[in-house]
Structures are given as structure tokens and as C-alpha cells.
Structure 1
Amino acid sequence: MGATGVASESLFRVPYYLNNFETLLNSVMEDETNKKLFNKEDLHIITVYQNLSDGAKKLYIRMFTRKLHWIPQNKLKYPEIGENLNPFLQELAAAALIDCDEQLTDLEEVLKALAAADIKTLAKSYHIAPSISQKGQLVPELLKKSQQSTLATMLGSSDGGVAKSMLARAKKYLNGIYKLKHAPRGVFVRVMMLFSLVNTLVDEDKGTGGQGQLFQMLMVNMGKLVYPAYTIEKVHHIFQDREDLIRFENALQLESDLLHCIDRGNWEQAYVVFKSIEKEWTLLTANSLIAEWNQKLPSFLRCYTATSVIHRLLCSSVEILQRRKDYTAAVDLLQTLLSETLYNSSHRGYLWERLALNLDAHMKQPLESLEAVKNGLTDKFVRVGHRYALYLRAESICQRAKLKLQHRLEEFHHEVVRKTPQVSIEGRVLHQGVSTNGTRFLTEESYVDGNSEDMTVVGVEEYVLGYYKKNGFPSGIHAEGSVVSTLFALFFWDILFMDMPDAFHSPFQALPLDLHSDMFYDRRKHLIEERLAKLEKSSVQELQVQAEETWTSQYGVVCACINWDRISLDSIKELLSCIGGEVLSGLIGRYARCPRHTRSGFPDLTLWNVDTGALKICEVKGPGDRLSHKQILWIDYLLSLGVDAEVCHVKAVAAKKLKPSQQ
């Protein structure tokens, strides 16, 4: 037997998903604080599951991790459970955990469940035009046909007409079809949510009701994933009762629905989902008991409440209204969201910035926009890039000659931002369809050789890396902010995963729950500042030893701040020899004090020369690209530390025609 066969046999012998599912279930139900989140009916469903045969349990879990759709029996094939699944399907049906053919009465669902060949045959019998051959086109055509009146229905017959006969004919193509019952499935989805809030996602169309956690546990069982060592210390209970948990589940489903629409550019349907979100917001905010409970939670746990999720979705919905050019509604929504200070404080900078933009650019109300800027700049939760963007908006308005508002600029303040050093180089590009993924540049080696078969094209960042390699910086990495977060993890690992109330609620966390909130720094301020002071005074050799100790002891452990494969330990040690303690402390300090707002915007390239000790941090901009506000402020901060930082603009020039290769 080959290696693949052995692996498959081993997988079938060991029902990892059954063991993991039951470990999750037992872990959640043994926690006394979770008991109040399940009623008698929920507990009965769990008992029913526990009394199933192993085969039925395995089949239920397999179906649980699939899309919440009707599944034809011929699509249910799990040899590790058995060649004949009928007994287990019957057991699940008798236990009221799945629906069968008899419960399938929706014509559209039946049509979607049919195989492509069967739906073509059915369409032919209803005289659908042969030119329509795709299943996605045939389903709506058949549904239209089902709505047509027959002579019998016109004469008052109530036999259901075309739709009823089509349903009966379509179901004949299905030799058994099954679907998980919604209510029991919901119980197990909520169990999964409670086990691992960090990885919470509910998506019925993708079946993401828990397979993420099951897969994580499998990887841990196989030794492929190792999570950091930390202590789970739950002080606050996030959900006050069962209804609270269900509200959170429903909010996550709305989030999934909205993201589906936005990702696909379906803005009309996104607007429909937005209206549902808006109604949910009205219901939630009208309930004073919900607000009272949420207010007692630490801010970093509040994001796991239904109201916080809905608030976040409304923030995302501003773009939907702007795309509809309904700027009045967008402004009203922004003002509503800003009037609520309990949820998502980290979004307030974005909201103030959007409000000022809409009032100024779209509604032509510069004075109102200035007021929004003024209020935004005094909001303690408006940080970094958003704060700078607001100031620039005020500067732009006040400097418009026709408005005569120059005197008002003194009302607004932002720290002076240094002028960004700029470098410009040229890069040769081909325009014969070499790549559709942005501008691609010919390496200098390709151009010198001139052989079209040996041509190498690279992205703009790789092209600039090559440029600096020839100009004093033989070592470099295109890693953006992961350089800073990696250094942070290496020198702050013990603080990152130290014992802290409510920081860890699950065995599978790659970060403390408060990392991206103000409370991360506030709760560890003394330790963080003490560590930064120590780093500042450390020698290069001491820094290298500390980094190597963490790297050696923690290598491969899952941590959101570090990708172990992106940069080597040798490169880290070389980089440290060029950074030194003072600059390292400054770099990590900015990140540690405000990870949420400084994790992005760090320049693309980190370059060094271990022989000369030179360090350069460079943001790369290709044709038509410009610096973001966060990038400008990161470069400004680097300059304040004495770091050689700059932006490199790459101008695209057409390459001469390459010589054909010699045969």
C-alpha cells in the first residue's frame, strides 16, 4: 500500500472530528457560567446528540461542517463512516436532527439541489429554450414557468398548478435529500462560538458554523499547530442570557451577508441587508437592559456583543449610502454613530473623517465640515492617520481664497510633520500583457541580457529592493509592518502572553483579546515602559541574545504578531546590529502603546548593510500611487528617531523591444 493509502486508512480509523467536536461540546457545557445560555430544549438537543450511535454522530458532524443547504444522498459519501449511510440518516431523522424529502416543499431549493444534467432534462420537458443551458440560468427560467397560469387555475382550481407539478417532477430526480434542522444546528453553532470567540464567524452559505475550530484542534492534535502558553482567567461573562447569545449569532450572520454583497460588488443587495441592520440597531438600542449590561464589560470584550457588531456594520454601510449618492442619509448615519460612544471607539476617527468629507465635498457645506473637524480633533479616540487627515481637511478649507476663512486655521492644531525625503528612479516595463497584477518591471539583468526567453519581471517593491542592493544596501526585506510586530513579539513575548484577567477566553488564541484596544497598554504600562527603557540601554550583542532566546524557545508557536517563515533569525540579528537599542526601543514603543492604529502604514522596505551598520526604511510608490496619512506619519516618526527614511517613486518607462533568443 502506498503512503497516500496508509494516510487515508489512518484518517478513517481515527475520527478526529468526532473527538474534537465532543471535546468542544464537553468543554463548553462543563463551564458553569455557560449553563444559563442554554434552555431545556437546547439541553435536550445536546442529550439527543449524545445518545446517537457513533456512526450517526460522525455523519451529523460531517453535515454540520457543510453548507446549510439540502444535500442529495449521492453527495453524502463518507467511507470512514460506512458504505451504506441509510441507517445513520434514518437515525438522525428519527432524532429530529435532520429534515428529509417530505419537508422539502420549496421549489427553488429543489431545483438548486438537482444535478446539472437532471435540470436540463426537466427544463426540456417544460420547453425552455435550448439556448439556455447553464444551471444558473435554467433555475430562474423554470421558476418563471412555474408561475404561469393553466386553464385549470384560471377556472379556479386550487391544485397548485404548474408549481406543484414541477415540484413533484423535480423531486423524482432526487433519490433522497437531507438538510440539518435549523434549530438544533443553531445550538451547536452557539457552542462553537462560546468555545472560541476569537475565531467566531457564522456563515450558513459557507457552512462556517464550527469547522474552523475543529480544524484548529485537528492541527493541534497532529502537532502542526502549537498555541502560546497562557492562563485563561475569565472575570466577565460576555453574554447575560441565552437571548443575548442568539442576538450575537444573528448579528454575525448579518455581517456575513453584508460582506458577501460588498465583496461581490452587489451594492443593491448590500442596501437591502443594510436596512435589516438598521432595524436591528433600532431594536437593540431601545433596550436599556442590553446597554446596561454591555457598559459593564471591558471595551475589548464589548466587541463580542450584538450591539457592537451591528454598530460596526453600520460603519461599513456608510459606503453603501455614498455609492447611492445619498449623502444626506450618509451624514445622518454618521452623526447617529458618532452620538454613540459605547461601541467601537477605534472607528471614531474614520467616522469623523467621513463626516467632514461628505459635508465638504458632497454637500458643499464647508463651515459644517470645519465643525466636524474641530469636534473630531478633540475626540480622544481619534488617533494617528485619521487625526492628520482631519487637520489637512481644515487646512484645505481655510486656504480656499473664495471662502475667506484663513483666520480660522489657527483654531486647529496638529504637530508639525516633517517633509518626507523623496527619491525617484526609473523602471522599464513591458506593455504586451506580461501581467495583470499591477505594473511589472524588468529586472536590470533581463534588460542587459536582452534575451526574451530569460526575461524576469518583478513587482515594484522587488524592483526597488534590487536598486538599493546595488546602492549600498545588500540586505533587505519587503515586509511592511510585520518587521515592527516581529520585533515586538521577540522582545515582549512574556508580556504579550502574561496572566491578565479576561485577556484569554479560549485555548486557541494567537493574541490577547485586548491587544488592539487601549487597555492593552493601560493594563501593562509599567512593564512595557520598563522593558522599553531596558532595550534602549542594551548593547547590540544583548539584543541579539534576547531575540535568539525567544526565537529558539517559541519558534513555530502561533502568534498574530509574527510570521516565522517571513524573516530568518540571521536576518533579525543582522538587522538588530544596524538598528541598535535606542532606535529599537523607539520603534517598538510606538507600536506597543497603540497597536490598533500603528500596525499599518509602516514603510514597505527595511534595508540594511551589516558591514557599514547602515539602516534605511523606504516606502515604495509605483506609477499613480501616493502616500497615505498613516505612511506619512510613520516616516515622520522614523525621521524623529534619526532613521534614514524616505519614499522611492518609480517612474515607468517603456522597454526597448527585446532581442529574440538565439536558436
Structure 2
Amino acid sequence: MSTVLQDESNTQLFSEEDKQLINKYNSLSDAAKKVYIRLFGRRLQWIPFGKINYPEIDKDLKPYLDELVHTAFLLGEKYLTDLRTVLEVLSAADVKTLAKIYHVAPNITQKGQQVAELMKQTQRKNISNMFGSGCGRGGLAHSMMIRAQKFLSGVYKLAETPRSLFVRIMMLFSVVNTSLDEDSGNGGQGQLFHMLMVNMGKVVYPEFQIDKTHAIFSSRADVIRFSEALQLESDFLHATEKGRWDEAHSVFLTVQEKQKELDADQDIVRWNKNLPDYLRAFTATSVIYRLLSQGIEVLQRRKDFTGAVDLLKSLLGQEYYCCTYRGYWWERLALNLDAHLKKPEQSLEAVLSGLADSHVRVGHRLALYLRGKAICERPRLKLGHRLKECYHPPLQDLPKMYLEGRVLHGSTGAGPRFLTQASYRREEDGDGMGDLAVCGVEEFVMDHYRTNGFPSGMHAEGSVVSSLFALFFWEILFMSKPDAFHSPYQAMPLDLYTDNFYDRRKLEIDKLFEDLSNKSVEELQAIAEESWMTHEGVACIGMSWERMRSADCVKELVACMGPSVLTGILKRYAHSPRHTRSGFPDLTLWNPVTGAFKICEVKGPGDRLSQKQILWLDYLLGLGVDAEVCHVKAVAAKRLMPSS
């Protein structure tokens, strides 16, 4: 809190009432502050006194709870006036007692069902009430509330005004790690948890200099707008994750209204346009546009393809928010026009516009080209003459290898489970099926390569590239640049996934690549080892300490890759981390004795290559890397042999 308040750029983000509330908090007893912080970290709901137990603070917490109620940081039971909420707060035993009193059927034994049945009873007409007797003036609900409250020995909930203030303070302390979720009480708790982990030494962030030249928020109202937008995002994600698409659509309609409101406010528009694009991502308007982008799927699920097309055109009509999504937007626009609205000519125009858009990169660019090519090659459309307008650099034919593997019938989980090669050998040697070992398709293929010239390897996909980049470019990643770091809890510069990352460090990046390409294998190994020993365990985006295993493992990998391949792979990543961080093949394989190096993309039954995977494989082949696609077929035959 003191860090945020001492930052001059935050001065205008707090009202006089906010400051008075902070002073009131500072005047609380130390024990009351500790209790408040513990409750702040819990789910936002009414909490019975019996479930508030922190003996490390004090055995008797009642005085401190009373202090927090008296100073309006907590609400007491007098503010709990909703019967359903009271019933839900009660213990299962107390609800059971009430259920007996109100003659709930004895076969209804679960607390949730008993609460529902009790609430149903309050909604039924009560004959006694109709004749002015029985439950009295308040009716059955009133009498049930009186009985239920007798079971409470105190119940507490965070007051909204101070809680909202502290959520905003937490958000400002680490805006890059912010998410809001009223249902789970996740409003600032993520940052609180990070602080705890850092203080305990379980999370260590890199050392860097914070150099703020732009304030992200213009005013207190701007911060509140951002937090409200994040809450909308949380509501939307909850609905989509649980498959409640009508609810998601309702949130989407609210988002559309919010977009109109924000875009109509010229002060907000001017402020946002003056921010660098990597800071603009933390504005309320950017969050709203991100939600509009996610709303495309909602409309498509409702078969409202016309609405989806209109939305996509609206998103593509501006170039200030979520520009890294433009490739996705063009691709979806072309698809909807072609496949759903049966307007191939308009789809082709969308393809051509997308290919001319400088924000469209890598996989989306290839996807657009392929759709345009397919449209032009349809004989009935007579658009073959326009094929030359669609261009993509030619791609190499990808080497392929085929394996057969026995699937364990009845296996569950993500994808089929294959019997390992060891299980085959036991069966073929006459040992019977016995204890069988099963694995995923990638491990099955790695097992094959392990016995065919590549004893070392890892199933790490893009983690290999991002980890090697972190080890060799650590100093550049965390070098001082204006607005690259706004919080002490950052594992990456804010501009990493934008064009600004390379543009603002071009001299340093190009020079390091030149140096690395001229190093010997031994010198590259020494650099990797020194970086590992210096930074091991420190949080860094893309750096997977566990998957990379050890400095020795990295040294083996670097030796087999060699300077040319290593620098070639890292160059592609450095120029566009956002667009190349995914799609790298599944398996990275090497032989420390022979120096052999191989990359393999694994495809199980029914799986196919994505555009980003195709482009990574094509690029690797261009570097001279032994790269291939391994297709695995699930069979039930006893003798299983690879074929090529």
C-alpha cells in the first residue's frame, strides 16, 4: 500500500475519501489489521464466527472483529437480512435441525437440497397467515429467519467500500497480474498471494529498473472503469467455461453497450491513443475489445453468422485495440463469409485485405492464403485469374515417418494411451501381458527414437525455444527501457509480445546474434551454463527450469544444435515472440555421443498439423535441421513395425 501511495503517478487516482479510509485503516490495532488481511484473502462471502480461527494472531479474535465492524471495515450480522444467505451460512447440522422443525421430508438429506426445500416452503401460501394466525405478521419467512439467526454466534463479511479501495491498490501495485472474480473473491488476492510467495522466498523475480514515463490511468474513474471491465471479463469466462452460452451472450450484450460508452468519451479516446500499445492493453477499452473478440464465438454458437461478420468488420475497422488479434479476425471473417454465409467472392476480398494487413503474421497469414487459394481454384466460381493476388512464400514438402502403436482399450483421459515398447517386448518374449506400461503418443514416439539413435530428448514444444532465448538473452530481456517495467512482480517486459520489443532493442539484439554466431560450441556452452547458474529458479516468461532439467542438459543440447542452428531458431523467436512462441514441434531429440540433432512433430490418430507447426517445420528444414512429422496409427496387431 505504501509503495502505491508513494508513487507520484498514482496521486490523482485516490479521492479524499479514499485517503481518509486509508488513514483509518492505519489507525487500527495491529491484530485487527492482520485479521482483515486474512479475511481479505478469503472468498467474498458471509463467514460464520466459528470459521474464523487464527491462533497465531490471538486465541480470541472477537475484540478485533468488533473493532473492524465498529470502524466499518466489516459488516456484522445485522446487515445479513436475506433468508437464503442465512441458511447457506449455517452449518449442515443447523440446517438439518431447521429442516426437522419445518417438516422437510426426511429423505432430503443434503444441505443444499434442504435449503432449497425450506425456501420453497416460504413461497407457498400459508393458510394460517391467510387467517391472521400462525407465523404472525412477517409470515413463514420471517419466523424462519428468527429461528435461523438464533444458530448464528456472529457472522461477518468485508464491507464493499474499503474492500474496493484495497482491490484497486493491489491492482495498481501489480497491474500486469490483475484479474477480478467476485464469485471466488479474487479481487487483489492474486497479488497478495504473490507478495506472500516472494516474502517466503518461494518466488523470485528478476532484477530490473522500473522507469515509468507514462501513467496508465488518467484518473480514479479510469481505474474503476478498468476494474469493472475486468469483472465483466471474469463473468464472461465463468459462463463460457461452464458452457452457459445464454449467460455469456447476456454479458456480451453488456460489453457492447460498454464499448459504445467508452468510444463516445473523447477524453478516454485521446488518453488511450497517447499510450504506447503495450500499455494500452491495460485500459478498460482494451479489455472490452478483448471481450468483443471472444464474443465472436458466442455469436457463432448461436448461428448468428451475420452478427459475427458485422462484429468482425467493426473490430477490423479500428487499429488501436487488440491489434495482435487482427489475424484471427480476418481469418474468422473469411471463414464466416465463405463457409456459413456462402459468399466466396466477399470472403476472397477479406483474404486479400488480411494479407495486406501488416498486423497479420505467421499462422494466420498462411491460413488466409490457403483459403484464398481454395476459393480461386473452385471451377464454378471462375476466379482462377485472381490466384496471383494471393501470395505466400512456397513451403517445402515435410518429411514424414509412420509408426503403429497398440492402444490400451478402455483408457481414459486426453487422447489415446499407447502401450510402451517395453510392454511389446514382454509380450513378444512370451512373458504375457503382465504389468503393462502406457504412455501418451509423444512419449510413445520418443521411446521409439530413444532406441533408434536419439537417447536424449524432451517433449517440451516451444519451451525449448523460449528457455534458450531466456538463457542467452536474459540481460536484454530485463534491460532498462522506458515503461518496460511498471511493477516489481514482472517476469517479462511489458512490450515483449509487441513489435516494440525488437524495435526498441534492435542494436543490442542484432549485436548479440552476431556475437553468438561467431562463438564456438564450447563458448556457447559456457554462456548457457553461466546464465543457468546465475538465474536458476528465477521467474522468467518462457523459462522452464524443470523441463530443461539442468545446465548439463542444456549444454548437451547446445552442442548438438551448433551455433548456426541455435542462432537461426532464436532469431525467428526474437523478431516476433508472440507469433512464434507456439507451433514449435513436440519433440527435441539429440545424441550427445554422435552430435546428432532432430526435431519431430507428433501426430496421433485424427490429428493434423496447424499452420504455425507447418511454418516452424519449414523454417527448421531451411536451417538444415533434421526435422520430420511422425504419424502414429493405433492398431491391434501383435507385431508392430515402423515404416517410412
Same fold (TM over 0.5): yes
| Alignment partner, residue 340 of structure 1 | 318
Alpha-carbon distance between aligned partners in 2 of 1:415 and 1:138, rounded to the nearest angstrom? 66
Alpha-carbon distance between aligned partners in 1 of 2:125 and 2:288, rounded to the nearest angstrom? 43
Alpha-carbon distance between aligned partners in 1 of 2:477 and 2:607, rounded to the nearest angstrom? 35
Matches within 5 A, 1:41-440: 41-151=17-127, 159-431=137-409, 433-440=410-417
Alpha-carbon distance between aligned partners in 2 of 1:585 and 1:604, rounded to the nearest angstrom? 20
| Alignment partner, residue 488 of structure 1 | 469
SS at match of 1:80: coil
Alpha-carbon distance between aligned partners in 2 of 1:581 and 1:119, rounded to the nearest angstrom? 70
Change in Cα spacing, 1:469 to 1:408, as seen in structure 2 (3 Å) is same
1:537 matched to 2:518? yes
| Alignment partner, residue 9 of structure 1 | none
| Alignment partner, residue 597 of structure 1 | 579
1:522 matched to 2:503? yes
The amino acid of 1:443's aligned partner reads: T
Change in Cα spacing, 1:357 to 1:117, as seen in structure 2 (3 Å) is farther
1:548 matched to 2:518? no
Pick the aligned partner of 2:418 from 431, 441, 445. Answer: 441
Q: Give the gaps of 5 or more residues in structure 1.
A: 1-24, 658-663
1:237 shift after superposition: 0.2
Change in Cα spacing, 1:363 to 1:120, as seen in structure 2 (3 Å) is farther
Count residues in correspondence.
632
8 Å Cα contact 1:430-1:655 kept in structure 2: no
Pick the aligned partner of 2:451 from 453, 459, 470. Answer: 470
| Alignment partner, residue 567 of structure 2 | 585
Alpha-carbon distance between aligned partners in 2 of 1:384 and 1:137, rounded to the nearest angstrom? 53
1:655 shift after superposition: 5.9
Alpha-carbon distance between aligned partners in 1 of 2:637 and 2:28, rounded to the nearest angstrom? 69
- Deviation per residue, 1:11-54 (Å, 9 max, x gap): xxxxxxxxxxxxxx111111122121110111111111111111
Alpha-carbon distance between aligned partners in 1 of 2:474 and 2:103, rounded to the nearest angstrom? 68
Alpha-carbon distance between aligned partners in 2 of 1:111 and 1:337, rounded to the nearest angstrom? 46
Alpha-carbon distance between aligned partners in 2 of 1:119 and 1:310, rounded to the nearest angstrom? 42
SS at match of 1:426: strand
The amino acid of 2:444's aligned partner reads: Y
1:152 shift after superposition: 7.2
Pick the aligned partner of 1:614 from 596, 606, 627. Answer: 596
Change in Cα spacing, 1:292 to 1:473, as seen in structure 2 (3 Å) is same
1:154 shift after superposition: 6.1
- Deviation per residue, 1:148-182 (Å, 9 max, x gap): 33357768999453333333333232221110011
Alpha-carbon distance between aligned partners in 2 of 1:325 and 1:531, rounded to the nearest angstrom? 51
- Deviation per residue, 1:563-596 (Å, 9 max, x gap): 2121121121111112111111110011010001
Alpha-carbon RMSD: 1.9
SS at match of 1:505: coil
- Deviation per residue, 1:511-568 (Å, 9 max, x gap): 1111111111110111111111222222111111111111111112111121212112
1:483 shift after superposition: 0.5
SS at match of 1:566: helix
Alpha-carbon distance between aligned partners in 2 of 1:128 and 1:353, rounded to the nearest angstrom? 57
1:273 shift after superposition: 1.7
Alpha-carbon distance between aligned partners in 1 of 2:212 and 2:302, rounded to the nearest angstrom? 44
SS at match of 1:617: strand
The amino acid of 1:531's aligned partner reads: L
TM-score (norm 1): 0.92
1:75 shift after superposition: 1.0
Alpha-carbon distance between aligned partners in 2 of 1:318 and 1:550, rounded to the nearest angstrom? 43
1:626 shift after superposition: 0.7
SS at match of 1:454: coil
The amino acid of 2:572's aligned partner reads: R
- Deviation per residue, 1:87-139 (Å, 9 max, x gap): 11110011011111111112332232222233333344444444443333344
| Alignment partner, residue 638 of structure 1 | 620
1:40 matched to 2:16? yes
Alpha-carbon distance between aligned partners in 2 of 1:136 and 1:335, rounded to the nearest angstrom? 46
- Deviation per residue, 1:52-71 (Å, 9 max, x gap): 11111111101101111111
8 Å Cα contact 1:303-1:309 kept in structure 2: yes
Percent identity for Structure 1 against Structure 2: 59
Alpha-carbon distance between aligned partners in 1 of 2:41 and 2:637, rounded to the nearest angstrom? 52
Change in Cα spacing, 1:171 to 1:276, as seen in structure 2 (3 Å) is farther
8 Å Cα contact 1:473-1:608 kept in structure 2: yes
8 Å Cα contact 2:170-2:192 kept in structure 1: no
8 Å Cα contact 2:32-2:64 kept in structure 1: yes
8 Å Cα contact 1:149-1:161 kept in structure 2: no
1:429 shift after superposition: 1.4
- Deviation per residue, 1:291-315 (Å, 9 max, x gap): 1001111100111100101110111
SS at match of 1:649: strand
Alpha-carbon distance between aligned partners in 2 of 1:230 and 1:132, rounded to the nearest angstrom? 60
1:459 matched to 2:440? yes
8 Å Cα contact 1:197-1:506 kept in structure 2: yes
Alpha-carbon distance between aligned partners in 1 of 2:149 and 2:303, rounded to the nearest angstrom? 46
The amino acid of 2:29's aligned partner reads: S
| Alignment partner, residue 642 of structure 2 | none
8 Å Cα contact 2:74-2:157 kept in structure 1: yes
SS at match of 1:620: strand
Alpha-carbon distance between aligned partners in 1 of 2:114 and 2:387, rounded to the nearest angstrom? 62
Change in Cα spacing, 1:78 to 1:539, as seen in structure 2 (3 Å) is same
- Deviation per residue, 1:334-384 (Å, 9 max, x gap): 112111211111111111111111111111111121111111111111111
Change in Cα spacing, 1:442 to 1:152, as seen in structure 2 (3 Å) is same
| Alignment partner, residue 15 of structure 1 | none
8 Å Cα contact 1:303-1:344 kept in structure 2: yes
8 Å Cα contact 1:537-1:582 kept in structure 2: no
Change in Cα spacing, 1:82 to 1:655, as seen in structure 2 (3 Å) is farther
1:507 matched to 2:485? no
